[in-house]
Amino acid sequence: MQHVAGGTHAWVPPRGGWGHSNTGLIVGEGASLLVDTLFDRPRTEAMLGQMAPHHEGAPITVAVNTHGNGDHWFGNGVLHADVEIVASAASVLDMEAVGPATVASLPGIPGPIGAFTASCFGDFAIAELVEDPPRLPGTTFTGSRELSVGGVEVLLLDLGPAHTRGDTVVVCPRDGVVLAGDLVFAEGTPIMWEGPVERWIEACTRLRALGADHGITQVVPGHGPVLPLARVGEMADYLSFVAEEAGERHARGLTVEEAARDIDLGPFAHLPESERLAANVLAIYRQLEGGPAPTGPEMFGCMAQWARATAGAEEGE
Ligand SMILES: [Zn+2]
């Protein structure tokens, strides 16, 4: 648990890789707001236990799921039945499309996809959620919504589709903090499940504008450490870089696999989960060709292949 500012706290695990997401807590008078749950029930229970001393006398009455990836809502079943769960309507579509049964089935896919997803998600207790699925948000909105929790005014903005179909950020002007979900991966590689990429870049611009518009100075990302708001620009830099590099190779007729292996990540090479480059190239190719966003198995297949090819190339050196 980390104190961010005023009554805003962040729960940030030691590493922010696959499935290891952050959560947030905004404490008001007699009531608190939770931002996201974790990927499984045991982790969510432990996280809420660590949060408890920080909101004594102000129980969590509202929870916001920033988007529909499992690592931000599969723990919803742990929340008390009285807690109102809020998400954008677009995020609920993602939750309905990809629930625990789909995620739990990925490691069973024969070949590289199964092996790769087992390495990403094998540590999480997803199987038990297939029989006992997490609660879906009961309150939805589109665009924006204002909330008052324990006297604290917060603003929910759905800046998606970008990372996923709906990407809500939680703005807390009282504390100068925005909880940005996976629109911001701090010190890690972003992955674009939905796009278009231009809209994600625009979302970064809108996030930065929260400084002037609402006095926001800090951002709690979906993964990785809390950052000054200005560093949101680094996300946009990565996305612009990949869009340009992929677009240029698409124009030259390279396949997705060829393009992903050909791109030199340069200033972004140090970021963990670098295999996400391959998935991002696939998503950008689909966008350029006017097709639908790739499926999860297509994205994981691409990354598994890229990771194997890269490891093979290093061994051969
Ligand atoms: Zn996430």
Question: Is the pLDDT at 251 greater than 80, yes or no?
Answer: yes
**For residue 277, what are the CA distances in angstroms to 53, 109, 117, 141, 304?**
40, 22, 16, 32, 11
Q: Tell me whether strands 139-141 and 144-149 are parallel, antiparallel or unpaired.
A: unpaired
What's residue 191's pLDDT?
98
What's residue 16's pLDDT?
82
Q: How far is the CA of 251 from the centre of ligand 1 (A)?
A: 31
**Distance in angstroms (rounded) separating the CA atoms of residues 212 and 104:** 43
What's residue 315's pLDDT?
65
**For residue 128, what are the CA distances in angstroms to 29, 103, 293?**
36, 12, 29
Token pair recorded at residue 10: 């962040």
What's residue 4's pLDDT?
98
The arithmetic mean of pLDDT across residues 28-41, rounded, is 98
Q: How far is the CA of 259 from the centre of ligand 1 (A)?
A: 25
Lowest mean pLDDT among 14-23, 28-37, 96-105: 14-23
Q: How far is the CA of 65 from the centre of ligand 1 (A)?
A: 11
What's residue 313's pLDDT?
73
- Longest Cα–Cα distance of the chain, Å, equals 62
**Distance in angstroms (rounded) separating the CA atoms of residues 41 and 8:** 23
Q: How far is the CA of 289 from the centre of ligand 1 (A)?
A: 27
Q: How far is the CA of 252 from the centre of ligand 1 (A)?
A: 33
Q: How far is the CA of 119 from the centre of ligand 1 (A)?
A: 16
pLDDT band at residue 71 using 50, 70 and 90 as cut-offs? very high
Q: How far is the CA of 290 from the centre of ligand 1 (A)?
A: 26
Q: Number of C-alpha atoms within 13 angstroms, CB side, residue 237?
A: 11
Q: How far is the CA of 137 from the centre of ligand 1 (A)?
A: 17
What's the distance, CA 185 to chain centroid? 7
What's residue 254's pLDDT?
98
What's residue 316's pLDDT?
57
What's residue 30's pLDDT?
98
CATH number where 19 lies? 3.60.15.10
Q: How far is the CA of 166 from the centre of ligand 1 (A)?
A: 13
Q: How far is the CA of 182 from the centre of ligand 1 (A)?
A: 5
**Distance in angstroms (rounded) separating the CA atoms of residues 216 and 4:** 12
The arithmetic mean of pLDDT across residues 237-254, rounded, is 98
Measured over the CA atoms of residue 58, residue 61, residue 66 and residue 67, the dihedral's sign is positive
Lowest mean pLDDT among 52-61, 177-186, 289-298, 306-315: 306-315
The arithmetic mean of pLDDT across residues 72-85, rounded, is 98
Q: How far is the CA of 254 from the centre of ligand 1 (A)?
A: 30
The residue among 218, 93, 236 whose CA lies nearest residue 166 is 93
Q: Are 181 and 159 in contact (CB under 8 A)?
A: no
Q: What is the pLDDT of residues 278-287, one digit of tens each?
A: 999 999 999 9
Domain hosting 138: range is: 2-316
What's residue 312's pLDDT?
76
Q: What is the CA radius of gyration of the chain?
A: 19
Q: How far is the CA of 19 from the centre of ligand 1 (A)?
A: 6
Question: How many folded domains does the chain comprise?
Answer: 1
Q: How far is the CA of 255 from the centre of ligand 1 (A)?
A: 28
Q: Tell me whether strands 218-223 and 227-228 are parallel, antiparallel or unpaired.
A: antiparallel
Q: Which amino acid is at 132?
A: D
Token pair recorded at residue 230: 């200005």
3-state secondary structure of 223: strand
Q: How far is the CA of 151 from the centre of ligand 1 (A)?
A: 29
The arithmetic mean of pLDDT across residues 148-164, rounded, is 98
Q: How far is the CA of 24 from the centre of ligand 1 (A)?
A: 13
Q: Which amino acid is at 69?
A: N
Q: Write down the mean pLDDT value for the chain.
A: 96
Q: What is the pLDDT of residues 170-202, one digit of tens each?
A: 999 999 999 999 999 999 999 999 999 999 999
What's residue 113's pLDDT?
94
Q: How far is the CA of 247 from the centre of ligand 1 (A)?
A: 26
What's residue 317's pLDDT?
47
Q: Which residues of 227-265 are buried (b: 16+ CB within 10 A; e: fewer)?
A: bebebbebbbebbebbbebbbebbeeebebeebbbebee
Q: Are 206 and 159 in contact (CB under 8 A)?
A: yes
Q: How far is the CA of 183 from the centre of ligand 1 (A)?
A: 9
Question: Is the pLDDT at 311 greater than 90, yes or no?
Answer: no
